[in-house]
Structure 1
């Protein structure tokens, strides 16, 4: 009598990087009352879920979107469908869709969740070695500038016991110089939002220099002042002051909620708490790379448990489509209030959609970035 393997993980590690969904499908059909398996991945705009194993099978509908948004398993007893979120370290990848032939029982349901978690982790590792999953996620061709920007991104969401974090870029397929970056180490979460000068591939190259200079400094143990100064020097040595990068650098103490900031330009921070929204008052310093040997100072503010910190680029707060008032004066606040009950992963999409509606069909003059952080609580 065959004994069911304890884990699908060993099979995933032995599989070619482009065949992970098929390995999981074979495992589930062999050992469980499962008739069909499909993996659906989110597109770049986070607005639709697309099949991988059989591209002709149905795309994600309301149930799949509910699973993706809630990050909880969803079952439809009438059709025998079971949906499981594919997520790793808070980064939402998609949904695993199973067609069951019988009630699997509670033990099997727990095992399905484990299989989905192992698949998501393997997908994250395999992403650099195959184009298969990226080809599903992009529904049209990216510009070269957008290709550079997507390669730079750390992910689209991140989470832990003490925080939830998400970011979104728009337009996904033709962005320019706006960008975000983050990293968590021990009790410190570093977040940067950038608005590179210019447009097209030149803006993307400028942002690439800035992001990698700050990462180089950060990974060498430098604080955010040293990160800003190294990046500023690198940009100035390359562009001699002709191009610069407006940047907001933040370092959050996840234990106590203290935030250190270097405000080097146009991205703005806001704090929302129980429906109240206030801007974070920071003294703006010179954008990175404007002058040689620029020096920066740290400013501080405090988060309280339950606070939501939002950072937006000038493509959001300063958008004036058709001569309308800047979006940040009223439209942004209204959009943020609608996100009060949404997790950061959903809130960033709500704000971006509201910004598109504000343009009323007009072509945006700039790309846009929003990053949303929920600091949950102090730990004992």
Structure 2
């Protein structure tokens, strides 16, 4: 069915940032003759999806929606749920550049044909772009996203993040911070520029607001060098000098800097401290051994060297902070000893966006679901190969 999504896009552009969901509701009712819509947004821990238009939805109705919405969110595919009277609930992923925001619900009095589903998916795509842009102008959607109050340190960390996932034909990248509502200094950052993907993971020093401030200085120094055309080593060196001349060696930040040529799979890395780099290939998890150099900010004028290694199509790379690798709850062996590798192997058939959650859930289970004693970061990168698919390789 030929269609022109112009009217819906126009309605979203003209709507105030805090009224995007209402504007989409009106536009979808008109364009698709829908009886109801809603938007579900993923919370900070990606443990649930929460309604925006109807936050007081009765529990039974919410749970019925939530189960199917979660399936749509996980699969990133439209999911239709039709009742015995032929009424259909159509769930569509709200995703922009690989960043999973949530799910859009559209209720119809009929089973939609392929053209209607395609048109609805276009509308959901337009809404996802608008929602991401609106986050700079309104707090409404962030309020839905948080299920409890953030600490000041966590507020700063989440605002500093580039997102929680990003995708192109050649790769899928995702990351997660825990404990989501109280995280202090652990952090990740990334940037996509042509065929170059840059990823940094910081094992934040200290706790609370002081840790988040140190991380913010480190991340922005590396961004400053990167945005000025600086190499991976220059990014590390500017951040290190900035931290040292502010704290004179009393504070430092273990950091892993990684750069991947998404065309060839050639990777370069600077291991400035403790984050661990692991590879899942053919069902086996192996640590990629790098020369461990001094953490950022330990001494003045530190010079760093980058190492190179190859990534094969279908490879999955994990970067984890010490809060994951070295976690030793209740006197047990470190999570990174054996349990972490088992968790990583169990993600073999999951996309990177689901894999980070699996590793984190297993970490919580390893702690017997008590609060984590240290910040934890998991970043997962799948390189599909220059053709943009994994060609059937098994991890």
Bin of the TM-score, shorter chain as denominator length? over 0.9
Between stretches 114-123 and 54-63, larger displacement belongs to: 54-63
Alignment of 1:1-380 (within 5 A): 6-57=6-57, 58=62, 60-78=65-83, 79-379=87-387
TM-score with structure 2 length normalisation?
0.94
Once residues 361 and 124 of structure 1 are traced to their aligned partners in structure 2, the CA distance between those partners, rounded to angstroms, is 32
Once residues 302 and 268 of structure 1 are traced to their aligned partners in structure 2, the CA distance between those partners, rounded to angstroms, is 17
- CA displacement at 1:4 relative to structure 2: 8.4
- Gaps in structure 1 of 5+ consecutive residues: none
Give the length in aligned residue pairs. 378
- Superposed CA offset, 1:72-107 (max 9, x none): 000012251110000000000000011111234322
Report the aligned-residue RMSD: 1.4
- CA displacement at 1:130 relative to structure 2: 0.2
Change (3 A) 1:4 1:355: closer
Is 1:28–1:34's contact at 8 Å kept on the other side of the alignment? yes
Tell me the SS of whatever aligns to 1:19: helix
- Superposed CA offset, 1:12-35 (max 9, x none): 111100111111100111232310
Is 1:41–1:50's contact at 8 Å kept on the other side of the alignment? yes
- CA displacement at 1:323 relative to structure 2: 1.6
Tell me the SS of whatever aligns to 2:349: coil
Is 1:8–1:27's contact at 8 Å kept on the other side of the alignment? yes
- Gaps in structure 2 of 5+ consecutive residues: 389-395
- CA displacement at 1:365 relative to structure 2: 2.1
Is 1:245–1:287's contact at 8 Å kept on the other side of the alignment? yes
Once residues 264 and 226 of structure 1 are traced to their aligned partners in structure 2, the CA distance between those partners, rounded to angstroms, is 13
Tell me the SS of whatever aligns to 2:301: coil
- Superposed CA offset, 1:284-324 (max 9, x none): 00000011111100111110000001100000001111121
Runs of 4+ with >3 A deviation: 3-7
TM-score with structure 1 length normalisation?
0.97
Is 1:163–1:374's contact at 8 Å kept on the other side of the alignment? yes
